[in-house]
Structure 1
């Protein structure tokens, strides 16, 4: 035995390496039953799988150019990061975009820009930019609501996002006077840090479900009564990432906390079916909306991705006939992506925002319903120029999801669906979450929103307007290719936006239904918190 140990001791290090390589080769050739590459090319075949596994990182940081990546390229991510850190987000030496490419957006500036007069709200607070419409005003809800910010956080659930990520977003929304949509995972303690909340639920009715998984009006009433920060309720019909597809929350992901928030059992998979059990038709949906609005007093809206238009026509017909229906409608583009989905759904089901919204708005314009609905736009619109196009098309507010995630440190690793997010944002892994500094990330959210609104206002003034709601379909051109050249949105999509009733920014400031606990003291504190560096 001692002689054998002495023999092992004199084997050089390279001998051990050679021995390991030989053993690996034997394993690959004689015992490998799964991988043809490593069987046919023992040892070296493993390098192929190693390179494949880090391929996305190599392309993201080394191979891809600044405008090449999807869903957000390096320039777009860089603008959000710089804005969120309150750093210089300008670029020098002119644009590096191909401004002759198809679908390129051109915003038509005025010869003489709008000049902000003295004693104007935007002179005191250049980031004050509320929604031009009031949710629930047409249907006389008991508690109408005017969002105090035109940019807000879209539906992302606690459970999909980590506790620290949700808390960071909520505190950032409070600083920005924005609302925070809960997503369909229920109202968590992390949504209760001062921001306005839009309570969102889907087919699972998480947080407002009975023991059988059906919707409970009593629980909804109690939830709203106990949480006055809930300013509106949103019913999810579908989402851009996977419209018409349900989901499963595996038992392994259901912690005691998630079980209590969502009112679901531990140690059991929870199904979110494709269909609602509370209604089965358009008339039943309208009745359901009215019942919730009557029970809670809050504005009630719906969220959906757009595909077929026939059922939307049925809804519009019923709304016109009865003067009932949703107070706001969130249109989610098919390019949405916070929900993990099969590529067949994510790539092909539902129209992108510009196509879906134009079909939808044109229909509701034909029924003369645009004045009674707040239109919320979602789908990669967290950039000022894209947002201005959405306002020109008829949007009243912008919801952002992935852009908000980027503002708190998301690096677009694209592993949200397997609980291994390296930034701690889209994971329940406690170690990964430990790196999130909530106060710092909340400040970044507020600065991203602050800089977003600043640029939107500057573009608005450059176009000669006071508020982006005054943008028209003739204020934005789109490049249709060499033969059609550029055309105004009105020519491209076949309608003109209905003029939004607008008085003054000051009248919005004085609105009794203005959300976000907006007041001069809070606004001044945010304004003086840190000056933007240029």
Structure 2
């Protein structure tokens, strides 16, 4: 055995000696071959034709442009969507490393849009025996989903920070497993995205099941919505705590999506209710309803058949439809139990640049516009408002709660917690860290066990620091934040305005009787082991 190994090593050494001896011949030959190919056979790239060999470096530099700007060129706070300071805080929090900064801020505090959180002269100090003295991460929703509308299974989410909609198919199975396991560890929910409920969503976390215009996972043979399939799905998976109907998303509102046929392997086809290797098409509009009254009928039918809270998710554009929705809810006394407002900044979904850049309002404008509509009609107490759109950092989250948000969903920030480096290759299937890809080699580098802990760490640190900011403002829970507690810089004129002055409304006060009342609430979910099927418990324990 050892002699064979020795012989093999000696052959390698001998080959290397021969290779080095003839290297001075091989390299010029290779360059000549490339030059001939570029000049005589290249019909597509002018630069390669006109500048053979050297021209190829242009395409190489272009392909790694985001990485060069990210690590070498850009200032700490210049990059978009997330700058280096923001990413560093997420990475350090996920790894339980030092996430502080020293020597003051390098942020331009006089810049337009800079957020100022107004602290109290006398911060809130949790008394002895307070839930947060023993659990600094305990931060449930102040509102209960489905209680106002009398749903059979109302639910108070255990965490006000949760994982936004990202489908299996868009994300790799290892990424989905890591997110779900991490969500179970920290008690947050995991939204399935519109790609259906995969086995990888079934590792013990609370799940919000989302479906969109393709009705994946709950569609009949003709691609239409099937109520019976949804009921069967909910009954078979009691950890599904709510249903979300996706009307549109911030990345590409008003446009359907497609998962190419080559990506629709037998597993994804089974989950989505499709034939293998046929394109998964999401139309631009729903077929189960066509207008606001039909949408409300649809919401009530799902709630009646499943017993679960039902909500809608949408980006925001024309406000007359939101006004019609609010008016119909007033007349009927029913409606969605929660509304997720998705900012037009875009998200994990791949989209044409003109959609991502220009279609629908960014989160701050979108949310404040919709919230005022329901506020004027006295409906805000009946609805749990969920915000989504670059809110996965404590200061932004505080501003969102001050505007009226009850719960926050994070997507890209959750991806960063499990290893995303903002390579911006989500749409290419070449994600270098194995998150937004179905490439088996790339996803094999993502260890779900390790990354699940990082997701849980990020969520816990986020909630802890959010609570610390809340206490600094003199409150016990972020739901108590008011629009006067946040000011925004107005830019060159060196003035600032409160959110109330900037947007012209005063947030409705949320009914809140202290953290102890949330801890003892009968509707509190989050600790999935208390209601997950025994088979799932064993799977979680084994893994």
Q: TM range, normalised to the smaller chain? A: over 0.9
Of the structure 1 ranges 420-429 and 235-244, higher mean CA displacement relative to structure 2 is found in 420-429
Instruction: Find the partner of 1:61 among 65, 71, 77.
Output: 71
Q: Using the TM superposition, name which of 67-76 and 288-297 deviates more.
A: 67-76
| 8 A contact 1:336–1:378 mirrored in 2 | no
Please, what is the CA RMSD of the aligned residues?
1.7
Secondary structure of residue in 1 paired with 2:107: coil
1:527 is aligned to: none
Partner of 2:455: 445
1:382 aligns with 2:392: yes
- Bigger shift: residues 215-224 or 24-33: 24-33
Confirm or deny: 8 A CA contact 1:336 1:380 kept in the other structure. Answer: no
What residue number does 1:48 align with? 58
Deviations 1:46-90 (A, max 9, x none): 222222222222111111121111111111111001101111111
- Alpha-carbon distance change, 164 to 30 in structure 1, aligned in 2, over 3 angstroms: closer
Cα pair 2:184 2:528 within 8 Å, conserved:
no
- Using the alignment, how far apart are the partners of 1:479 and 1:440 within structure 2? 40
1:252 and 2:275 are equivalent in the alignment: no
Distance 2:83 2:196 in 1: 32
Instruction: Find the counterpart in structure 1 of residue 7 from structure 2.
Output: none
SS at the partner of 1:180?
Answer: strand
Provide the C-alpha distance between the structure 1 equivalents of 2:271 and 2:22, rounded to a whole number of angstroms: 60
Cα deviation, residue 442, structure 1: 1.0
Cα distance change of structure 1 residues 90 and 519 upon mapping to structure 2, 3 Å threshold: farther
Residue 230 of structure 2: aligned partner: 220
| CA deviation map 1:75-116 (0-9, x unaligned) | 111100110111111111111101000000000000100111
For residues 503-518 of structure 1, the aligned pairs below 5 Å read: 503-517=513-527
Q: CA deviation at 1:317?
A: 0.3
Q: What is the aligned partner in structure 2 of residue 201 from structure 1?
A: 211
Question: Quick one: distance in 2 between partners of 1:163 and 1:99?
Answer: 42
Per-residue deviation, 1:15: 4.0
Deviation at 1:484, TM superposition (A): 6.6
Candidates 117, 122, 133, aligned match of 2:132:
122
Identify which of 263, 268, 272 aligns with 1:262. 272
Residue 301 of structure 1 aligns to a residue whose secondary structure is: strand
Please tell me whether the aligned partners of residues 196 and 515 of structure 1 are also in contact (alpha carbons under 8 angstroms).
Answer: yes
Aligned residue in 1 for 2:190: 180
Which residue is 1:5 aligned to?
A: none
Find the counterpart in structure 2 of residue 112 from structure 1: 122
Please name the residue that 1:72 is paired with: 82
* Gaps in structure 1 of 5+ consecutive residues: 1-8, 521-534
Aligned partner of residue 440 in structure 1, secondary structure: helix
1:309 aligns to 2:330 (yes or no): no
Bigger shift: residues 41-50 or 380-389: 41-50
* Cα offset, 1:119, TM superposition: 1.2
Residue 343 of structure 2 aligns with which residue?
333
Q: What are the Cα deviations for residues 461-480 of structure 1, in whole angstroms up to 9, with x where unaligned?
A: 10000100000000000011
Distance, in Å, in 1 between the alignment partners of 2:121 and 2:272 is 54
Q: Which moved more, 1:386-395 or 1:87-96?
A: 87-96
User: Is 1:231 matched with 2:205?
Assistant: no
Q: 1:517 to 1:20 in 2, by over 3 A?
A: closer
CA-to-aligned-CA distance 1:345-389 (integer Å, 9 cap, x gap): 011111110010011111110111100000000000000010000
**Contact 1:334–1:353, Cα closer than 8 Å, also in 2:** yes
What's the secondary structure of 1:292's corresponding residue? helix
From 394, 398, 408, the equivalent of 2:404 is 394
Contact persistence 1:384–1:455 (CA under 8 A): yes
1:410 counterpart residue number: 420
- Is this contact kept in 2: 1:148–1:518, CA < 8 A? no
Give the SS at the match of 1:376: strand
**Structure 2 contact 266–277 (Cα < 8 Å) conserved:** no
TM-score by length of 1: 0.94
After superposition, give the CA deviation of every residue in 1:163-208 in whole Å (9 maximum; x if it has no partner).
Answer: 1111111111111111110000111111111111100000000110
| In 2: Cα distance, 1:479 partner to 1:339 partner | 31
Residue 460 of structure 2 aligns to a residue whose secondary structure is helix
Q: Secondary structure at the match of 2:427?
A: helix
> Matched residues in 2 for 1:67 and 1:484: separation?
20
Kindly provide the CA deviation profile for residues 113-163 of structure 1, in whole angstroms up to 9, marking residues without a partner as x: 011111111111111100000000110000000000010000000111111
Secondary structure (helix, strand or coil) at the match of 1:413 reads coil
